[in-house]
Amino acid sequence: MKKIAIAGFGFMGAVHARNILASKNLELCAIIDNRENIFAGIENTGNAGRLDLPIEFLRKIPVHRTLEEYCRTENPDAALICVPLFLHYDLTKRALNLGLDVLLEKPFCAEPEQCRELIELAKGKQRLLMVAHCIRFAPAWEFLAECIRDQRYGKLQLLTATRMGGEPTWGVWQDEKIKNTCGGALLDLLIHDVDFANYCLGVPESVKLNLNKDEYWEFELKYHDEPAKISVKGGFLYRHTAFASEYAAAFENGSIRFSTLEPELIRIGTDKGAETVNVKGDAYSAELEYFAECCETRTAPLKCPPEASLQAIETCREIRQAIPASV
Ligand SMILES: NC(=O)c1ccc[n+]([C@@H]2O[C@H](COP(=O)([O-])OP(=O)(O)OC[C@H]3O[C@@H](n4cnc5c(N)ncnc54)[C@H](O)[C@@H]3O)[C@@H](O)[C@H]2O)c1
Protein backbone atom coordinates (compact mmCIF):
# COMPACT_ATOMS: atom_id res chain seq x y z
CA MET A 1 0.00 0.00 0.00
CA LYS A 2 1.46 3.35 -1.07
CA LYS A 3 1.12 6.47 1.11
CA ILE A 4 -0.04 9.39 -0.99
CA ALA A 5 -0.53 13.04 0.01
CA ILE A 6 -2.97 15.27 -1.86
CA ALA A 7 -1.69 18.79 -2.56
CA GLY A 8 -4.63 21.10 -3.28
CA PHE A 9 -7.93 20.15 -1.68
CA GLY A 10 -10.43 21.84 -4.00
CA PHE A 11 -12.74 20.12 -6.49
CA MET A 12 -10.29 17.57 -7.92
CA GLY A 13 -8.42 17.14 -4.65
CA ALA A 14 -11.68 16.19 -2.93
CA VAL A 15 -12.70 13.79 -5.74
CA HIS A 16 -9.31 12.05 -5.59
CA ALA A 17 -9.36 12.01 -1.76
CA ARG A 18 -12.70 10.16 -1.83
CA ASN A 19 -11.34 7.63 -4.32
CA ILE A 20 -8.10 7.10 -2.39
CA LEU A 21 -10.11 6.36 0.77
CA ALA A 22 -11.95 3.68 -1.23
CA SER A 23 -8.73 2.20 -2.68
CA LYS A 24 -7.07 -0.96 -1.38
CA ASN A 25 -3.71 0.08 -2.86
CA LEU A 26 -3.38 3.64 -1.62
CA GLU A 27 -3.46 5.31 1.78
CA LEU A 28 -4.38 9.00 2.01
CA CYS A 29 -1.68 10.11 4.45
CA ALA A 30 -2.09 13.92 4.32
CA ILE A 31 -3.91 16.82 2.76
CA ILE A 32 -1.76 19.81 1.80
CA ASP A 33 -3.57 23.10 1.24
CA ASN A 34 -2.80 26.69 2.15
CA ARG A 35 -6.41 27.73 2.84
CA GLU A 36 -7.68 28.13 6.40
CA ASN A 37 -10.90 26.14 6.35
CA ILE A 38 -10.52 23.57 3.61
CA PHE A 39 -13.86 21.85 4.30
CA ALA A 40 -16.02 24.99 3.94
CA GLY A 41 -18.31 24.49 0.92
CA ILE A 42 -16.23 21.58 -0.41
CA GLU A 43 -19.29 19.44 -1.19
CA ASN A 44 -20.65 22.14 -3.50
CA THR A 45 -17.62 22.46 -5.78
CA GLY A 46 -17.17 21.08 -9.28
CA ASN A 47 -19.08 20.82 -12.53
CA ALA A 48 -21.67 18.32 -11.26
CA GLY A 49 -22.96 20.77 -8.64
CA ARG A 50 -22.52 18.45 -5.66
CA LEU A 51 -19.88 15.98 -4.44
CA ASP A 52 -20.74 13.00 -2.31
CA LEU A 53 -17.81 12.99 0.15
CA PRO A 54 -17.04 10.89 3.26
CA ILE A 55 -16.46 14.09 5.24
CA GLU A 56 -16.13 12.38 8.66
CA PHE A 57 -13.24 10.22 7.37
CA LEU A 58 -11.60 13.11 5.49
CA ARG A 59 -11.60 15.23 8.66
CA LYS A 60 -9.34 12.61 10.32
CA ILE A 61 -6.56 13.08 7.70
CA PRO A 62 -3.67 15.32 8.84
CA VAL A 63 -3.69 18.73 7.10
CA HIS A 64 -0.51 20.72 6.38
CA ARG A 65 0.18 23.98 4.57
CA THR A 66 3.15 22.68 2.53
CA LEU A 67 4.55 19.33 1.41
CA GLU A 68 7.90 20.25 2.96
CA GLU A 69 6.25 20.79 6.37
CA TYR A 70 4.62 17.35 6.18
CA CYS A 71 7.77 15.58 4.90
CA ARG A 72 9.83 16.95 7.81
CA THR A 73 8.40 14.19 10.00
CA GLU A 74 6.71 11.75 7.60
CA ASN A 75 7.75 9.73 4.55
CA PRO A 76 4.98 9.57 1.95
CA ASP A 77 5.58 7.63 -1.27
CA ALA A 78 3.75 9.94 -3.63
CA ALA A 79 1.96 13.25 -4.10
CA LEU A 80 -1.20 13.89 -6.08
CA ILE A 81 -1.08 17.51 -7.16
CA CYS A 82 -4.42 19.25 -7.75
CA VAL A 83 -3.58 22.95 -7.61
CA PRO A 84 -4.27 25.61 -10.26
CA LEU A 85 -2.18 25.42 -13.44
CA PHE A 86 0.18 28.30 -12.57
CA LEU A 87 1.45 26.21 -9.60
CA HIS A 88 1.85 22.89 -11.45
CA TYR A 89 5.52 23.39 -12.27
CA ASP A 90 6.60 24.62 -8.84
CA LEU A 91 4.74 22.03 -6.75
CA THR A 92 5.68 19.11 -9.01
CA LYS A 93 9.34 20.14 -8.91
CA ARG A 94 9.23 20.41 -5.13
CA ALA A 95 7.53 17.01 -4.77
CA LEU A 96 10.07 15.32 -7.07
CA ASN A 97 12.92 16.96 -5.16
CA LEU A 98 11.43 15.55 -1.96
CA GLY A 99 11.82 12.11 -3.58
CA LEU A 100 8.11 11.52 -4.23
CA ASP A 101 6.38 9.90 -7.19
CA VAL A 102 3.94 12.42 -8.66
CA LEU A 103 0.50 12.22 -10.18
CA LEU A 104 -0.22 15.74 -11.46
CA GLU A 105 -3.68 16.89 -12.54
CA LYS A 106 -3.91 17.90 -16.19
CA PRO A 107 -2.85 20.05 -17.97
CA PHE A 108 0.88 19.39 -17.51
CA CYS A 109 2.41 22.93 -17.37
CA ALA A 110 1.66 26.01 -19.45
CA GLU A 111 5.20 26.14 -20.89
CA PRO A 112 6.58 23.12 -22.81
CA GLU A 113 10.04 23.93 -21.40
CA GLN A 114 8.71 23.44 -17.86
CA CYS A 115 7.22 20.07 -18.86
CA ARG A 116 10.54 18.97 -20.35
CA GLU A 117 12.43 20.01 -17.25
CA LEU A 118 10.07 18.03 -14.98
CA ILE A 119 10.31 14.94 -17.20
CA GLU A 120 14.12 15.11 -16.94
CA LEU A 121 13.99 15.77 -13.18
CA ALA A 122 11.74 12.73 -12.63
CA LYS A 123 14.15 10.59 -14.67
CA GLY A 124 17.15 11.92 -12.75
CA LYS A 125 15.48 11.25 -9.40
CA GLN A 126 14.16 7.89 -10.61
CA ARG A 127 10.64 8.94 -9.65
CA LEU A 128 7.42 8.32 -11.54
CA LEU A 129 5.68 11.29 -13.10
CA MET A 130 2.24 10.93 -14.64
CA VAL A 131 -0.20 13.65 -15.72
CA ALA A 132 -3.80 12.75 -14.92
CA HIS A 133 -5.36 12.62 -18.39
CA CYS A 134 -8.40 10.77 -17.08
CA ILE A 135 -10.10 10.26 -20.46
CA ARG A 136 -7.48 7.61 -21.28
CA PHE A 137 -9.01 5.66 -18.38
CA ALA A 138 -12.70 6.41 -19.04
CA PRO A 139 -14.51 3.18 -20.07
CA ALA A 140 -16.49 4.77 -22.93
CA TRP A 141 -13.33 6.30 -24.43
CA GLU A 142 -11.35 3.08 -23.87
CA PHE A 143 -14.05 1.30 -25.90
CA LEU A 144 -13.65 3.83 -28.70
CA ALA A 145 -9.84 3.54 -28.59
CA GLU A 146 -10.16 -0.25 -28.93
CA CYS A 147 -12.53 0.11 -31.91
CA ILE A 148 -10.06 2.45 -33.62
CA ARG A 149 -7.19 0.06 -32.90
CA ASP A 150 -8.78 -3.30 -33.79
CA GLN A 151 -10.97 -1.92 -36.63
CA ARG A 152 -13.92 -4.13 -35.65
CA TYR A 153 -16.20 -1.73 -37.57
CA GLY A 154 -13.62 -1.07 -40.27
CA LYS A 155 -11.28 1.89 -40.55
CA LEU A 156 -12.08 5.16 -38.79
CA GLN A 157 -13.50 7.78 -41.17
CA LEU A 158 -14.52 10.60 -38.83
CA LEU A 159 -14.25 11.37 -35.13
CA THR A 160 -16.02 14.34 -33.68
CA ALA A 161 -15.58 15.10 -29.98
CA THR A 162 -17.52 17.77 -28.12
CA ARG A 163 -16.94 19.02 -24.58
CA MET A 164 -18.67 22.01 -23.06
CA GLY A 165 -20.23 23.36 -19.92
CA GLY A 166 -20.58 26.49 -17.85
CA GLU A 167 -17.40 28.38 -17.03
CA PRO A 168 -16.15 27.07 -13.66
CA THR A 169 -17.40 29.10 -10.69
CA TRP A 170 -15.77 27.23 -7.83
CA GLY A 171 -12.45 27.46 -6.00
CA VAL A 172 -9.64 29.49 -7.53
CA TRP A 173 -11.80 30.27 -10.59
CA GLN A 174 -13.48 32.94 -8.43
CA ASP A 175 -10.23 34.89 -8.37
CA GLU A 176 -10.04 36.87 -11.63
CA LYS A 177 -6.21 36.99 -11.58
CA ILE A 178 -5.81 33.22 -11.08
CA LYS A 179 -8.62 32.44 -13.55
CA ASN A 180 -6.61 34.17 -16.26
CA THR A 181 -3.70 31.77 -15.66
CA CYS A 182 -5.77 28.57 -16.01
CA GLY A 183 -5.29 28.30 -19.77
CA GLY A 184 -8.95 28.92 -20.65
CA ALA A 185 -11.23 26.29 -22.14
CA LEU A 186 -8.51 25.02 -24.47
CA LEU A 187 -6.15 23.87 -21.69
CA ASP A 188 -8.83 23.22 -19.10
CA LEU A 189 -11.40 21.27 -21.17
CA LEU A 190 -10.48 20.57 -24.78
CA ILE A 191 -7.01 19.26 -23.96
CA HIS A 192 -8.83 16.08 -22.86
CA ASP A 193 -9.97 15.45 -26.45
CA VAL A 194 -6.68 16.60 -27.95
CA ASP A 195 -4.82 14.14 -25.72
CA PHE A 196 -7.29 11.35 -26.52
CA ALA A 197 -6.95 11.89 -30.28
CA ASN A 198 -3.15 11.91 -29.91
CA TYR A 199 -3.38 8.73 -27.79
CA CYS A 200 -5.24 6.95 -30.60
CA LEU A 201 -3.55 8.46 -33.66
CA GLY A 202 -0.09 9.79 -32.75
CA VAL A 203 1.44 13.24 -33.14
CA PRO A 204 -0.68 15.64 -35.24
CA GLU A 205 0.88 16.70 -38.52
CA SER A 206 -1.20 19.90 -38.57
CA VAL A 207 -4.09 21.67 -36.87
CA LYS A 208 -6.83 23.74 -38.51
CA LEU A 209 -8.80 26.25 -36.50
CA ASN A 210 -12.32 26.61 -37.87
CA LEU A 211 -13.92 28.82 -35.24
CA ASN A 212 -12.91 30.61 -32.08
CA LYS A 213 -15.19 32.97 -30.20
CA ASP A 214 -13.98 33.89 -26.71
CA GLU A 215 -13.81 30.53 -24.90
CA TYR A 216 -15.52 28.48 -27.63
CA TRP A 217 -13.36 26.53 -30.12
CA GLU A 218 -13.81 24.33 -33.16
CA PHE A 219 -10.73 22.78 -34.75
CA GLU A 220 -9.50 19.81 -36.77
CA LEU A 221 -6.44 17.65 -36.17
CA LYS A 222 -4.65 15.96 -39.07
CA TYR A 223 -2.42 12.95 -38.39
CA HIS A 224 0.33 11.46 -40.58
CA ASP A 225 -0.96 8.68 -42.88
CA GLU A 226 -4.42 8.97 -41.30
CA PRO A 227 -7.21 9.80 -43.74
CA ALA A 228 -9.87 10.11 -41.01
CA LYS A 229 -11.20 13.59 -40.18
CA ILE A 230 -10.81 14.51 -36.51
CA SER A 231 -12.88 17.41 -35.25
CA VAL A 232 -12.98 18.82 -31.70
CA LYS A 233 -15.54 21.39 -30.55
CA GLY A 234 -16.51 23.03 -27.31
CA GLY A 235 -15.54 25.31 -24.50
CA PHE A 236 -17.09 27.32 -21.72
CA LEU A 237 -20.75 28.30 -21.87
CA TYR A 238 -22.43 30.75 -19.51
CA ARG A 239 -21.69 29.84 -15.87
CA HIS A 240 -23.92 27.16 -14.29
CA THR A 241 -24.82 25.63 -17.69
CA ALA A 242 -24.84 21.79 -17.55
CA PHE A 243 -21.61 20.04 -18.54
CA ALA A 244 -21.47 17.29 -21.16
CA SER A 245 -18.81 15.61 -23.23
CA GLU A 246 -19.69 13.52 -26.25
CA TYR A 247 -18.22 11.74 -29.20
CA ALA A 248 -19.43 10.35 -32.50
CA ALA A 249 -17.14 8.09 -34.50
CA ALA A 250 -17.94 6.94 -38.03
CA PHE A 251 -16.17 3.81 -39.28
CA GLU A 252 -16.42 2.05 -42.66
CA ASN A 253 -19.08 -0.35 -41.37
CA GLY A 254 -20.73 1.37 -38.43
CA SER A 255 -20.91 4.37 -36.12
CA ILE A 256 -20.56 4.79 -32.37
CA ARG A 257 -22.04 7.57 -30.22
CA PHE A 258 -21.58 8.41 -26.56
CA SER A 259 -22.58 11.25 -24.27
CA THR A 260 -21.91 11.75 -20.56
CA LEU A 261 -25.61 12.68 -20.40
CA GLU A 262 -26.20 8.90 -20.79
CA PRO A 263 -23.05 7.86 -18.91
CA GLU A 264 -23.49 4.09 -19.03
CA LEU A 265 -24.58 3.63 -22.63
CA ILE A 266 -22.68 3.53 -25.92
CA ARG A 267 -24.95 3.50 -28.98
CA ILE A 268 -23.81 1.69 -32.12
CA GLY A 269 -25.36 1.51 -35.57
CA THR A 270 -24.34 -1.11 -38.18
CA ASP A 271 -26.07 -2.92 -41.06
CA LYS A 272 -27.35 -5.39 -38.45
CA GLY A 273 -29.31 -2.61 -36.75
CA ALA A 274 -28.97 -0.64 -33.53
CA GLU A 275 -26.94 -2.02 -30.64
CA THR A 276 -26.00 -0.70 -27.22
CA VAL A 277 -22.97 -1.45 -25.08
CA ASN A 278 -23.12 -0.86 -21.33
CA VAL A 279 -20.12 0.78 -19.72
CA LYS A 280 -19.46 1.13 -16.02
CA GLY A 281 -16.55 2.37 -13.95
CA ASP A 282 -15.03 5.65 -12.91
CA ALA A 283 -12.15 7.12 -14.93
CA TYR A 284 -10.60 8.88 -11.91
CA SER A 285 -10.51 5.65 -9.84
CA ALA A 286 -9.07 3.66 -12.75
CA GLU A 287 -6.41 6.34 -13.29
CA LEU A 288 -5.47 6.28 -9.58
CA GLU A 289 -5.27 2.48 -9.49
CA TYR A 290 -3.07 2.51 -12.59
CA PHE A 291 -0.73 5.05 -10.99
CA ALA A 292 -0.64 3.00 -7.75
CA GLU A 293 0.29 -0.11 -9.74
CA CYS A 294 3.09 1.75 -11.56
CA CYS A 295 4.43 2.97 -8.19
CA GLU A 296 4.24 -0.52 -6.72
CA THR A 297 5.95 -2.24 -9.67
CA ARG A 298 8.32 0.71 -10.43
CA THR A 299 7.21 0.75 -14.05
CA ALA A 300 6.85 3.84 -16.22
CA PRO A 301 3.21 4.92 -16.82
CA LEU A 302 3.20 3.79 -20.46
CA LYS A 303 -0.59 4.16 -20.79
CA CYS A 304 -0.23 7.85 -19.98
CA PRO A 305 3.41 8.96 -20.26
CA PRO A 306 4.39 12.55 -19.42
CA GLU A 307 5.88 12.93 -22.92
CA ALA A 308 2.35 12.50 -24.35
CA SER A 309 1.01 15.08 -21.88
CA LEU A 310 3.71 17.47 -23.13
CA GLN A 311 2.58 16.71 -26.71
CA ALA A 312 -1.00 17.66 -25.74
CA ILE A 313 0.30 21.02 -24.46
CA GLU A 314 2.20 21.56 -27.70
CA THR A 315 -0.82 20.68 -29.85
CA CYS A 316 -2.96 23.15 -27.86
CA ARG A 317 -0.32 25.84 -28.39
CA GLU A 318 -0.46 25.24 -32.14
CA ILE A 319 -4.24 25.60 -32.04
CA ARG A 320 -3.97 28.89 -30.12
CA GLN A 321 -1.31 30.13 -32.57
CA ALA A 322 -3.75 29.44 -35.41
CA ILE A 323 -5.92 32.40 -34.31
CA PRO A 324 -5.51 35.00 -37.08
CA ALA A 325 -3.37 37.95 -35.94
CA SER A 326 -6.16 40.48 -36.59
CA VAL A 327 -8.59 38.75 -34.14
N1 LIG B 1 -9.34 15.80 -14.68
C2 LIG B 1 -10.40 16.55 -14.64
O3 LIG B 1 -11.46 16.19 -15.10
C4 LIG B 1 -10.30 17.90 -13.98
C5 LIG B 1 -11.46 18.61 -13.65
C6 LIG B 1 -11.31 19.83 -13.01
C7 LIG B 1 -10.06 20.34 -12.73
N8 LIG B 1 -8.94 19.64 -13.09
C9 LIG B 1 -7.60 20.14 -12.82
O10 LIG B 1 -7.35 20.06 -11.41
C11 LIG B 1 -6.54 21.15 -10.98
C12 LIG B 1 -7.25 21.86 -9.83
O13 LIG B 1 -8.53 22.30 -10.28
P14 LIG B 1 -9.76 22.40 -9.25
O15 LIG B 1 -10.97 22.60 -10.10
O16 LIG B 1 -9.72 21.27 -8.30
O17 LIG B 1 -9.40 23.77 -8.52
P18 LIG B 1 -9.90 24.30 -7.09
O19 LIG B 1 -9.80 25.76 -7.11
O20 LIG B 1 -11.22 23.68 -6.75
O21 LIG B 1 -8.80 23.70 -6.08
C22 LIG B 1 -7.47 24.15 -6.04
C23 LIG B 1 -6.98 23.97 -4.61
O24 LIG B 1 -5.58 24.24 -4.57
C25 LIG B 1 -5.32 24.91 -3.35
N26 LIG B 1 -4.03 25.59 -3.42
C27 LIG B 1 -3.74 26.77 -4.05
N28 LIG B 1 -2.43 27.08 -3.88
C29 LIG B 1 -1.89 26.08 -3.14
C30 LIG B 1 -0.59 25.81 -2.64
N31 LIG B 1 0.42 26.63 -2.88
N32 LIG B 1 -0.39 24.69 -1.92
C33 LIG B 1 -1.40 23.84 -1.67
N34 LIG B 1 -2.67 24.04 -2.11
C35 LIG B 1 -2.91 25.14 -2.84
C36 LIG B 1 -6.50 25.86 -3.20
O37 LIG B 1 -6.63 26.31 -1.86
C38 LIG B 1 -7.65 24.93 -3.62
O39 LIG B 1 -8.15 24.22 -2.51
C40 LIG B 1 -6.32 22.03 -12.21
O41 LIG B 1 -5.09 21.70 -12.78
C42 LIG B 1 -7.45 21.62 -13.16
O43 LIG B 1 -7.09 21.76 -14.53
C44 LIG B 1 -9.05 18.42 -13.68
Supply the pLDDT for residue 46. Answer: 82
Residue to probe by mutation, ligand 1, list 16, 32, 33, 131, most atoms within 8 Å of CB: 33
Q: Beta-carbon neighbour count of residue 47 at 10 Å?
A: 16
Is the distance from CB of 102 to CB of 79 less than 8 angstroms? yes
Q: Distance, CA 323 to ligand 1 centroid (Å)?
A: 28
Sketch the domain layout of the chain as residue ranges: 2-132, 135-284+314-321
Question: Which residues, listed in sequence order, are joined to residue 251 by a DSSP beta bridge?
Answer: 156, 254
**Looking at ligand 1, which atom is closest to the CA of residue 182?**
43
Residue-wise pLDDT for 25-48, tens only, equals 999 999 999 999 999 989 888 877
Supply the pLDDT for residue 45. Answer: 86
Residues 6 or more apart whose Cβ sits within 8 Å of residue 111: 89
Tell me which residue has its CA closest to atom 38 in ligand 1. Answer: 10
What residues are in contact with ligand 1 under a 6 Å CB criterion? 7-13, 32-35, 45, 82-85, 87, 105-106, 132, 134, 170-172, 188
Supply the pLDDT for residue 98. Answer: 97
Same CATH fold assignment for domains 2-132 and 135-284+314-321? no
**Looking at ligand 1, which atom is closest to the CA of residue 171?**
19
Q: Distance, CA 206 to ligand 1 centroid (Å)?
A: 31
Tell me which residue has its CA closest to atom 37 in ligand 1. Answer: 35
Supply the pLDDT for residue 137. Answer: 98
Is the distance from CB of 70 to CB of 61 less than 8 angstroms? no
CATH superfamily entry for domain 2-132:
NAD(P)-binding Rossmann-like Domain (3.40.50.720)
Is the distance from CB of 114 to CB of 93 less than 8 angstroms? no
Q: Distance, CA 154 to ligand 1 centroid (Å)?
A: 41
Q: Say yes or no: domain 135-284+314-321 is CATH 3.40.640.10.
A: no
Q: Distance, CA 258 to ligand 1 centroid (Å)?
A: 28
Supply the pLDDT for residue 49. Answer: 74
Pick out the chain residues at pLDDT < 50.
none
Supply the pLDDT for residue 326. Answer: 64
Angstrom distance (rounded) from CA 322 to CA 92: 30
The candidate with the shortest Cα–Cα distance to 15, out of 80, 93, 86, is: 80
**Looking at ligand 1, which atom is closest to the CA of residue 38?**
39
Residue-wise pLDDT for 42-51, tens only, equals 988 887 778 8
